[in-house]
């Protein structure tokens, strides 16, 4: 999945934290051979790190591991799939590659990635975010190591909430969210802008209900939009969507929902926190008037489930420096550097135990709460083909425009089933 836009929206701040080395000089993984340093080639993606973070990490890493000469190359998201596939099939692959979390299965299927299953505990895997860790697994083996996460929250107008007498801090459940949005609709306001095809939001509601987009049984995938759980989720989505004036036949990009919020009296959108920056850029008068809260859950005991976007780190099976690559991954995904990355880039760290690292940033803090209940799309290389057709969007529009919900769900599920099993 392409996360360039997601990453860009999240924004960046300058790195201010100091260096904390996780290993000491002379580590056996440093790789000096006959007095020569090991050159470690790493591909990181555009907007994954700031220039300041990259410079400080490279310096700190090489000081801690004097036998390694770290060479980080920044790659563009456009066309990266073909480039990674070619690298994995070559004899000259980089040692470490950053990939979108939902891309891991695609690359692991070919047998081109190193299996880290036996080293998960060493990397603190028991605390990894589920939405990053699970997509990194293929056929029961851990190939992708969680790097950073990002997800959607509710971005809201603090002035409109105040005018309506709504306290965002008290919205913990879906029912409370519906009640608050109804209040926000009074006086000519628009309680929420929610387009009809925001399938990421619908996915969260489906997971809250205990369902999924597709399930695997007996070695075969089965689309699950026609399950009772998914139907209940779509019913809630319809109720929420009806409280605004969002189009029923397009997603949040058509028109750009942040621009819609900037122009009128829209009180809420579901977006990454960086969406607030776009709102303010379009309408500077809204600076200081935007806030964030996690998408509410079905009950107050847990935040709403969210789709976890972000990246994992993988090592090509043909990479020449396997142990040094593991050392790099252990450093960058370790607690010390994860805290610094979160501060520098406004990302959610890869472990649930590190959520406090972003407490000073309201948008990222709201993301971190939701990330604890994060999920990913069905873990199969064929899911990309489902997104290309996107029967989920077609299903949502059909229901919202008065179509038979069960028939539309069955049709979409059948398409998902056929697509997911086409490569098996």
User: Which candidate, 319, 350, 348, 320, places its Cα nearest to that of 335?
Assistant: 350
What does the block give as tokens for 183?
A: 């209040």
Taking a C-beta distance cutoff of 8 angstroms, is the pair 295, 154 a contact? yes
Residues 40 and 89 placed together within one structural domain of the fold = yes
At residue 369, the pLDDT reads: 96
Q: What is the pLDDT of residues 338-363, one digit of tens each?
A: 999 999 999 999 999 999 999 999 99
Please tell me whether residues 199 and 297 are part of one structural domain. yes
Indicate whether 250 pLDDT > 60. yes
Residue 30: per-residue pLDDT: 60
The verdict on residue 321 lying in a domain is: yes
212 and 378 Cβ atoms separated by less than 8 Å: yes
Are 284 and 315 contained in the same domain?
no
Say if residue 252 is in the same domain as residue 395. Answer: yes
What is the per-residue pLDDT for 414? 97
Query: Token pair of 323, please?
Result: 């142990």
- Same domain flag for 120 and 183: no
Asked if residue 371 is part of any domain, the answer here is no
* pLDDT mean over 248-257: 95
**Are 112 and 261 in the same domain?**
no
- Residue 331 sits in the same domain as residue 416: no
Residue 359: CB atoms within 10 Å: 10
Provide the 3-class DSSP secondary structure of residue 266.
strand
The CATH number of residue 212's host domain is 3.40.190.10
Q: Is residue 12 pLDDT above 70, yes or no? A: no
370 lies in a domain?
Answer: no
**CA–CA–CA angle 107, 112, 115 (5° rounding):** 95
Per-residue pLDDT, averaged over 378-391, amounts to 93
Q: Which of 318, 335, 365 is the last residue of a domain?
A: 365
Q: Is residue 202 domain-resident?
A: yes
Nearest to 278 by CA among 253, 308, 301: 253
The count of domains in the chain is 2
Looking at every residue in the chain, the average pLDDT score rounds to 91
Are both 131 and 213 inside the same structural domain? Answer: no
Report, in angstroms and rounded to the nearest whole number, the Rg of the chain calculated over CA atoms.
22
In a domain, 372, yes or no: no
pLDDT of residue 399: 98
Do 37 and 104 have their domain in common?
yes
| % of the chain exceeding 90 in pLDDT | 88
pLDDT digits (tens, 9 = 90+) for 20-62: 333 333 334 565 555 689 999 999 999 999 999 999 999 999 9
Backbone angles phi, psi at 255, to 5 degrees: -75, 165
Residue that finishes a domain, picked among 365, 390, 411: 365
Confidence of residue 14 (pLDDT cuts 50, 70, 90): very low
The answer on 261 and 382 residing in a single domain is: yes
Residues 146, 157 within the same domain: no
Whole-angstrom distance, CA of residue 167 vs CA of residue 180: 9
Whether residues 138 and 161 fall in one domain: no
Q: pLDDT tens-digit profile of 85-94?
A: 999 999 899 9
Domain holding 400, by residue range, is 153-306+378-420
Give the pLDDT band (50/70/90) at residue 188: confident
């Amino acid at each position: 999945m392409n996360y360039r836009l997601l990453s860009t929206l999240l924004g960046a701040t300058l790195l201010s934290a100091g260096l904390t080395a996780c290993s000491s000089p002379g580590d056996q993984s440093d790789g000096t051979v006959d007095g020569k340093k090991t050159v470690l080639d790493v591909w990181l993606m555009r907007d994954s790190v700031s220039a300041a973070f990259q410079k400080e990490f490279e310096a700190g890493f090489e000081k801690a591991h004097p036998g390694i000469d770290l060479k980080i190359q920044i790659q563009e998201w456009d066309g990266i799939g073909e480039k990674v596939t070619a690298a994995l099939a070559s004899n000259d692959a980089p040692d470490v590659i950053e990939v979108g979390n939902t891309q891991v299965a695609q690359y692991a299927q070919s047998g081109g990635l190193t299996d880290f299953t036996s080293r998960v505990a060493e990397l603190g895997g028991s605390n990894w975010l589920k939405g990053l860790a699970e997509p990194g697994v293929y056929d029961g083996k851990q190939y992708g190591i969680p790097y950073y996460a990002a997800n959607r929250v509710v971005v809201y107008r603090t002035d409109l909430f105040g005018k309506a007498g709504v306290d965002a801090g008290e919205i913990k459940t879906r029912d409370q969210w519906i009640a608050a949005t109804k209040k926000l609709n009074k006086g000519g306001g628009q309680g929420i802008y929610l387009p009809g095809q925001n399938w990421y939001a619908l996915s969260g509601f489906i997971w809250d209900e205990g369902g999924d987009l597709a399930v695997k049984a007996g070695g075969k995938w089965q689309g699950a939009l026609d399950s009772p759980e998914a139907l209940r989720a779509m019913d809630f989505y319809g109720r929420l969507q009806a409280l605004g004036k969002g189009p029923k036949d397009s997603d949040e990009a058509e028109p750009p929902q942040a621009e819609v919020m900037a122009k009128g009296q829209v009180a809420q959108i579901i977006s990454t926190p960086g969406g607030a920056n776009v709102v303010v850029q379009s309408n500077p008068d809204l600076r200081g008037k935007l806030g964030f809260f996690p998408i509410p859950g079905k009950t107050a005991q847990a935040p709403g489930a969210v789709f976890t976007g972000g990246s994992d780190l993988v090592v090509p099976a043909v990479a020449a420096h396997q142990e040094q690559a593991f050392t790099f991954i252990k450093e960058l995904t370790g607690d010390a550097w994860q805290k610094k990355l979160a501060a520098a880039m406004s990302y959610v760290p890869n472990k649930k135990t590190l959520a406090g690292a972003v407490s000073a940033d309201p948008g990222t803090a709201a993301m971190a709460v939701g990330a604890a209940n994060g999920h990913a799309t069905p873990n199969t290389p064929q899911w990309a083909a489902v997104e290309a057709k996107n029967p989920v969007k077609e299903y949502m529009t059909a229901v919202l425009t008065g179509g038979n919900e069960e028939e539309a769900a069955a049709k979409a599920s059948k398409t998902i089933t056929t697509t997911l099993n086409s490569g098996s």
